[in-house]
Amino acid sequence: MNILGNLLNAGSAHLSQATEQAPVKRNRRGIAIKSPAEIEIMRTSAKIVATILKEISTQVEPGMTTADLDRYAEQRIREMGATPSFKGYHGFPASICTSINQEVVHGIPSPKKVIRSGDVLKVDLGAYYQGYHGDSCITIAVKKVTSKAEHLIKTAQEALYKGIEQVKAGNCLLDIAGAIEDHVLKMGYSVVEDFTGHGVGRNLHEEPQVFNFRTKELPNVRLKAGMVLAIEPILNAGSKYTKTLRDRWTVVTVDNAISAQFEHTVLVTASGYEILTDRTQV
């Protein structure tokens, strides 16, 4: 799930449900360094997310509604011993975000939103397990999409992995951002700058903000082993600019161009990284 920087900076990254929080180990920037025990729990929360997203990716069919997907996701999250990270978060009414075509992020599932062949469907899912969150997003090409949509989706996934390849202790956030931005621009698309990735752990959204574009306006944090990041580039086929609809959640492109996004929860290690939400491992 994405978050606006001002929400994160305001410290509003807590679940709306009260939870008992154990002491959090932080470095001088206030970024949580997870202990081996915490990482092990996060592997489970992330595996829950990866498993359900993989299931959804194989089950989506034209004629289903986004509410059908939400109902399925919540049932599976609870069956696996977790609770939905998103439901009730700042008042969000559902367990997943479902954003179609020109919808960029935070689409609200609805029984009136019918999925159609050719749609570019983003499904963002979070699970809260034993005090820790996992967070991931996929973009699904529903049946036969246009070649342009197919290329955008492919580029978005490639951009995510270009960023992940830069993750290791000693590198900086700008290493991730530069790798993502270079690939996206090379392919002729734009990077959405209104939303960023984030740290994840006891809170769904923690420091640092993990930006997908070069900037001097956000802290260029040096990565340390034990940090856990949600890396999530968002690409638009047209302009990078977005607007929020009247429901105060759904974000769309200003020019009606399609959008694609992929996200993984990634652990920083001394020698590189571990993708905690790796769907190929479930």
Instruction: Tell me whether residue 100 is in a domain.
Output: yes
% of the chain at pLDDT higher than 90: 89
Residue 3 confidence class, pLDDT cut points 50, 70, 90: low
Whether 129 contacts 103, CB under 8 Å: no
Instruction: Tell me whether residue 282 is in a domain.
Output: no
* Rounded Cα gap, residues 73 and 207, in angstroms: 27
List the CATH number of the domain containing 149. 3.90.230.10
Kindly tell me if the per-residue pLDDT of 21 is higher than 90.
no
Q: Rounded to 5 degrees, what angle do the CA atoms 121, 163, 254 make?
A: 45
Instruction: Tell me whether residue 16 is in a domain.
Output: no
**101 compared with 30, residue with greater pLDDT:** 101
Whether 45 contacts 128, CB under 8 Å: yes
Kindly tell me if the per-residue pLDDT of 20 is higher than 90.
no
Instruction: Tell me whether residue 148 is in a domain.
Output: yes
* Rounded Cα gap, residues 271 and 205, in angstroms: 25
Kindly tell me if the per-residue pLDDT of 102 is higher than 90.
yes
Reported in sequence order, the residue ranges of the chain that DSSP labels E, i.e. its strands, are: 83-84, 96-100, 103-105, 120-129, 132-141, 190-191, 197-199, 206-210, 228-231, 234-236, 242-244, 251-253, 259-261, 264-268, 273-275
The interaxial angle of helices 36-59 and 66-79, nearest 10 deg, is 140
Instruction: Tell me whether residue 52 is in a domain.
Output: yes
Q: C-alpha 194: how far from its chain's center?
A: 14
Instruction: Tell me whether residue 20 is in a domain.
Output: no
% of the chain at pLDDT higher than 70: 90
| Residue ranges making up the domain that contains 260 | 5-9+25-277
Tokens of 211: 């930006």
Total structural domains in the chain? 1
Other beta carbons within 10 angstroms of residue 182's beta carbon come to 13
